[in-house]
Amino acid sequence: MNLRDRLTGARLAFAGLVLIMVLLPSLATAFFVNFVMTQTLILGLAAATIVFLAKYGGMTSLAQLLMFGIAGFMFGNAALAGGARGLNLGWHPWAAVGFALLVTTVAAFVLGAIASRTTGIYFLMLTLVYGVIGYFVFAQIVEISGPGGITSIQRPDLLGPPIRLYYAGLLLSVLAYLGFRAVRRTAFGLALQGVRDDPVRMASLGFNVALHRTLAFTMAGFVAGLAGLLNVWWNGQIDPASISIGPTLILLIIAVIGGISSLEGAWLGAFVYVLVFTYLRDLPLVDRIGITEARFNTVIGVIVLAIMVLSPEGLTGIGQRLRRRLRRRVAAEAAPTAGDSLPVHTTQKELGGTRP
Residue numbers at the binding site for other proteins (CB under 8 A): 60, 114-115, 117-118, 120-122, 124-126, 128-129, 132-133, 136-137, 140-142, 244-246, 249-250, 252-253, 256, 294-298, 300-302, 304-305, 308-309, 312, 348, 351-352, 354, 356
Q: Which residues lie across from 238 on neighbouring strands? A: 150
Q: What are phi and psi of 238, to 5 degrees?
A: -150, 135
Residue 148 or residue 301: which is nearer to other proteins going by CB? 301
Least Å distance between CB 308 and other proteins? 5
Q: What is the C-alpha to C-alpha distance for residues 195 and 232, in angstroms, rounded to an integer?
A: 35
CB closer to other proteins out of 191 and 307: 307
Q: Is 41 within 8 Å of 165 (Cβ atoms)?
A: no
Minimum CB–partner distance for residue 348 and other proteins (Å): 7
- Nearest approach in angstroms of CB 9 to other proteins is 31
Instruction: Encode burial over 214-226: b for 16+ CB neighbours within 10 A, e otherwise.
Output: bbbbbbbbbbbbb
* Half-sphere exposure at residue 89, Cβ-oriented, CA atoms within 13 angstroms: 17
Which residue's CB is nearer to other proteins, number 48 or number 96? 48
Determine contact, residues 94/154, Cβ cutoff 8 Å: no
The amino acid that residue 272 corresponds to is V
Nearest partner of 61 among 71, 45, 78, 46, judged by Cα: 46
Cβ pair 120, 184 in contact under 8 A: no
Q: Least CB distance from residue 253 to other proteins, whole Å? A: 7
Q: Between residues 39 and 119, which has the closer beta carbon with respect to other proteins?
A: 119
| Shortest separation between residue 301's beta carbon and other proteins, angstroms | 4
Distance CA(116)–CA(205), nearest Å, equals 18
H helix runs in 198-340, sequence order: 199-204, 209-235, 245-258, 263-279, 296-310, 314-334
Name the residue type at position 89. L
Q: Which is nearer to other proteins, 7 or 305 (CB)?
A: 305
Residues 142, 130 contacting (CB under 8 angstroms)? no
CB of 210 to other proteins, least distance (A): 10
Q: For the chain, how are helix, strand and coil distributed in percent, rounded to 5?
A: 75, 0, 25
Minimal distance, residue 117 CB to other proteins, in Å: 4
The answer to whether the CB of 255 falls within 8 A of the CB of 351 is no
Of residues 31 and 136, the one with the C-beta less far from other proteins = 136
Query: Taking the complex as a whole, how short is the minimal distance between the CB of residue 254 and other proteins, in angstroms?
Result: 12
